[in-house]
Chain A
């Protein structure tokens, strides 16, 4: 879910701040504590730091704008594709931050745990309407609208000698992914076994005809998956705020193990590609992963995903759903067993077991 950065209260007497400069742009990833913009009051120019790490999704004001203290300055998200709530920048209020709240306003402030000082009053007193305008502008939800999502409490360190170490970018990405799977998706799993011979013969013929260095088996499987998703749009969707969000493109996520790092590379608009261009596009992002040269387009925006651990002779693996993906297929083919497995983690909020099983059975057969 997107989160907001609010205009700070610089001093008690100023309910308005002026935006002097932005130091970030939409799409930038900022760390907690990074300076993202400068604001000015009558008394000082203040650097505003990001309260949380995340991608900048939308700037809600412009340089030279005068905005009310507490207004949303920008939205951030854990992924670059998160939807931004519909909010309006709160225009500079006429009333001061110290306007006395009415009884109804006071009750709502107490319910939401808000300080009356951060809410601009548009009259002599801080009214219920003023508070409701403020919470609407900031995307603050009343308690009866807050979904029953478990929020992790701050943890204690284990009672064993050790030290806390900051996560690197890839590790943090993994944590975000796993947390989304745990906290949002209703994730479950099923698998089908199949005889891999038909696919192996199909891939071998394709490789020979096209003089390929790399086996096209997994790319061809992935391409077939994309085509099946195109024909069955329900699998290319997620849930946002209680509604199905139907993706338009099929952006295929494909895992690549590069040394110690697992990447989810992304081929965007995969459904618009013919077979060979898709294989080339997938080969290119795989190479970029090994070179550690993936760009942002190649590491975000997956709408469904594919993984294989056949290389490590794994017989089954139950993958984690990437954020906002309802389906991730895991291929396995234990050497010498004469069988292969297509497993799928799926979000039961979006897909049923029947939806997934039907797709896997189709995927187990090469085209034609």
Chain B
């Protein structure tokens, strides 16, 4: 598990691109601050898969109420949240 901020961002970006590709979408130009659900690249089912991957990749079980735009809404947010939780 690499907790370097850039490494986390790269991993999240790669996962979003992979999930989008499965839906026939090209998310390669997604910005670090773009709100992931609002981009339309991935649907709710894929966002769930992203969350499950994220929990597993960073050994970080999430409470349902933590799954929100503030914590996980963008690539930057997801990186910040891991670093905050992992201290």
Interface residue A213 (Cβ < 8 Å from any Cβ of B) = yes
Interface residue A283 (Cβ < 8 Å from any Cβ of B) = yes
Interface residue B60 (Cβ < 8 Å from any Cβ of A) = no
Distance in angstroms from B26 CB to nearest chain A CB is 17
A257 adjacent to B45 (CB under 8 Å): yes
Query: In the complex, which of the residues A211, A218, A281, A311 contacts B68, with contact meaning CB atoms closer than 8 Å?
Result: A211
Chain B residue nearest in CB terms to A210:
B68
- Tell which of A91-99, A153-161, A284-292, A323-331 binds the partner: A284-292
B45 adjacent to A283 (CB under 8 Å): no
Distance in angstroms from B5 CB to nearest chain A CB is 21
Query: In the complex, which of the residues B48, B68, B72, B73 contacts A287, with contact meaning CB atoms closer than 8 Å?
Result: B48
* Residues of chain B from 48 to 87 with CB closer than 8 A to chain A in the complex: 48-49, 51-52, 55-56, 64-65, 67-70, 72-73
Q: Which residues of B contact A207 (CB under 8 A)?
A: 37
Interface residue B27 (Cβ < 8 Å from any Cβ of A) = no
Interface residue B32 (Cβ < 8 Å from any Cβ of A) = no
Q: Of B48, B55, B67, which is in contact with the most chain A CB atoms at under 10 Å from its CB?
A: B48
Asked, given contacts A213-B51, A213-B73, whether A311 binds B45 with beta carbons under 8 Å apart, the answer is yes
Q: Which residues of B contact A213 (CB under 8 A)?
A: 36-37, 47, 51, 67-69, 72-73
Q: Which residues of B contact A281 (CB under 8 A)?
A: 64
Bits for B13-52, please: 1 = Cβ < 8 Å to A, else 0: 0000000000000000000000011000001110111011
* Residues of chain A from 203 to 236 with CB closer than 8 A to chain B in the complex: 207, 210-215, 218
Bits for A281-311, please: 1 = Cβ < 8 Å to B, else 0: 1011011001100000000000000000001
Cα–Cα, bound, A214→B45 (Å): 8
Interface residue A195 (Cβ < 8 Å from any Cβ of B) = no
Chain B residue nearest in CB terms to A280:
B64
Q: Which residues of A contact B64 (CB under 8 A)?
A: 280-281, 283-284, 287
Distance in angstroms from B72 CB to nearest chain A CB is 6
B47 adjacent to A214 (CB under 8 Å): yes
Distance in angstroms from B16 CB to nearest chain A CB is 13
Cα–Cα, bound, A52→B10 (Å): 51
* Residues of chain A from 159 to 218 with CB closer than 8 A to chain B in the complex: 207, 210-215, 218
Distance in angstroms from B30 CB to nearest chain A CB is 15
Query: In the complex, which of the residues B65, B72, B73 contacts A280, with contact meaning CB atoms closer than 8 Å?
Result: B65
Chain A: how many interface residues by the 8 Å CB criterion? 18
Q: Which residues of B contact A214 (CB under 8 A)?
A: 37, 44, 47-48, 67
Distance in angstroms from B37 CB to nearest chain A CB is 6
Q: Which residues of A contact B67 (CB under 8 A)?
A: 213-214, 283
Q: Which residues of A contact B69 (CB under 8 A)?
A: 211-213
Cα–Cα, bound, A210→B51 (Å): 18
Distance in angstroms from A286 CB to nearest chain B CB is 6
Chain A residue nearest in CB terms to B43:
A311
Cα–Cα, bound, A283→B49 (Å): 12
Cα–Cα, bound, A257→B36 (Å): 21
Distance in angstroms from B51 CB to nearest chain A CB is 7
Distance in angstroms from A54 CB to nearest chain B CB is 31
Q: Which residues of B contact A218 (CB under 8 A)?
A: 44
B52 adjacent to A291 (CB under 8 Å): yes
Cα–Cα, bound, A211→B68 (Å): 6
Cα–Cα, bound, A281→B51 (Å): 16
B52 adjacent to A287 (CB under 8 Å): yes
Q: Which residues of B contact A210 (CB under 8 A)?
A: 68
Q: Which residues of A contact B68 (CB under 8 A)?
A: 210-213
Cα–Cα, bound, A210→B52 (Å): 21
Distance in angstroms from A282 CB to nearest chain B CB is 9
A residues at B contact (CB < 8 Å): 207, 210-215, 218, 257, 280-281, 283-284, 286-287, 290-291, 311
